[in-house]
Amino acid sequence: MIAHPSSVGSHAGGPGAEAQAERMTDQAVRAAGDIIHDAWMAGAVIDALPARLRPATRRDGYRIQATLERRSALPIHGWKIAATSLDGQRHIGVDGPLAGRILAERVIADGGSVAFHPNRMAVAEVEFAFRMARSLAPRERPFDLDEVLDAVASVHAAIEIPDSRYADFASAGAAQLIADNACGHYFVEAPATHSDWRSLDLAAHRPVGTVTGKITREGSGRNVLGDPRVALAWLANELRSIGVTLAAGQVVTTGTCMTPLPVLPGDEVVADFGVLGRASVRFL
């Protein structure tokens, strides 16, 4: 049985303690977005956002994040989920998942190359990704797992290359990390699988991640919120809670299914999902 997404933690946005925090002004949101964007483009880091521009809530973190999308000349490619595994949560110092945008200009062709610098995290993450066939627009009632899966077009092997604009990302906290695009940086997506993925138990699926000639690790779909399909439903409901549509054609990458793979310039990373496909990227 697949766990229902409503059972996955208490990190799906919505009312609660955050309702007590003062909402950031639009001007402060834009100013915070400017700082993060400028650091990202320059390959620089900051200690933290200035106190007057620092989001106190996840919702304000997402408002700042949205300014990064508005700067792009292209529609976003899709969405990423950070910290869907315990290893991922420990890596960035949070206790539950965060959503971020995959910017189209940050998508690397499968088998392609990407500049290593700047990359302070210096890891690659092996991930299950889903492309949507139909849009899921915001509504009052949460999406259940079956209707989210019914809206999926295809499954892909993927590699995420995260990074942060904070010098000490592990102490930044969830709201600031969300503002920092949930540590989004680059993304690699293999072609859609030709296998009947709907008949597979994705929780039990065991992808293999390799840094050629150095490291080989086996992962598990269970490391992704218990099941990557549950992670996908979490993302749909996280977006619903902030009034954002998960749109047809967008891709959702669901978080690392193994301990992130350390990388250096010259390394090639391969994410082998067996019948679900294989993705690779080289660091220059």
Mean local confidence (pLDDT), 73-91: 92
User: Distance between CA atoms of 10 and 172, rounded to whole angstroms?
Assistant: 20
Residue 155 lies in a domain: yes
Average pLDDT, the chain: 93
The answer to whether residue 12 scores a pLDDT higher than 70 is: no
Determine the structural domain holding residue 206 and report its residue range: 75-283
The answer to whether the CB of 127 falls within 8 A of the CB of 271 is yes
Q: What percent of the chain has pLDDT over 90?
A: 89
Sign of CA dihedral 35, 36, 41, 42: positive
Mean local confidence (pLDDT), 148-158: 98
Residue 213 lies in a domain: yes
pLDDT (0 to 100) of residue 4? 54
b/e map 244-260, b = 16+ CB within 10 Å: bebbeebbbbbbbbbbb
86-144 pLDDT, tens digit per residue, is 878 888 999 999 999 999 999 999 999 999 998 999 999 999 999 999 999 999 999 99
Residue 53 lies in a domain: no
Contacts of residue 135, defined as CB under 8 A and 6 or more positions apart, other chains included, come to 151, 245, 246, 247, 248
Domain of 174, CATH number, reads 3.90.850.10
pLDDT (0 to 100) of residue 18? 64
Sign of CA dihedral 66, 72, 74, 77: negative
DSSP per-residue codes, 105-157 = GGEEETT-EE---S-SS-EEEEEEEEEESS-B---SSPPPHHHHHHTEEEEEE
The answer to whether residue 69 scores a pLDDT higher than 50 is: yes
DSSP 243: T
pLDDT (0 to 100) of residue 19? 59
Residue 70 lies in a domain: no
Residue 202 lies in a domain: yes
Residue 63 lies in a domain: no
Residue linked to tokens 């200690």? 47
Residue 171 lies in a domain: yes
Residue 96 lies in a domain: yes
26-59 pLDDT, tens digit per residue, is 999 999 999 999 999 999 999 999 999 999 999 9
| Bridge partners, 157 (sequence order) | 128
pLDDT (0 to 100) of residue 3? 57
Name the pTM for this structure: 0.94
The answer to whether residue 85 scores a pLDDT higher than 90 is: no
Q: What's the number of domains the chain is made of?
A: 1
